[in-house]
Amino acid sequence: MGRACPQDAAPGTPDRLLDVHEAASMLALKPATLYQWAYERRIPVVKLFGPRGALRFRLSDIEALIARSVRPALRVRGEESP
């Protein structure tokens, strides 16, 4: 059997579980960074099958992290407000 691809999931499924490679790709990070963040508990993680189990990340958590990280552009001097 082949590995499920992110494109195979139903669109708009917010609690779909992502493996470390899928989540890292969405965040433009190395998988090692996500492993470190999970170890430091900087990002929510689902551990399957006990303490040494596989790590998974909820799509909704990754999307929330992205949304919280958005910073608005600064206004340019001399530019009028609408």
The DSSP secondary structure of 14-59, one letter per residue, reads: TT-EE-HHHHHHHHT--HHHHHHHHHTTSS--EE-SSTTS-EEEEH
CATH number of the CATH domain containing 58: 1.10.1660.10
Structural domain contains residue 45 = yes
Q: Residue 82: inside a domain, yes or no? A: no
| Domains held by the chain: number | 1
Closest CA to 61 of 39, 81, 46: 46
pLDDT tens digit sequence for 17-55: 999 999 999 999 999 999 999 999 999 999 998 888 899
HSE value, Cβ hemisphere, 13 Å, CA-based, for 44: 12
Question: How is residue 80 written in tokens?
Answer: 């009028």
Q: pTM for this structure?
A: 0.70
Residue 48's closest CA among 36, 57, 40? 57
Mean of per-residue pLDDT scores for the chain:
84
Residue ranges making up the domain that contains 24: 15-69
Higher per-residue confidence, 7 vs 23: 23
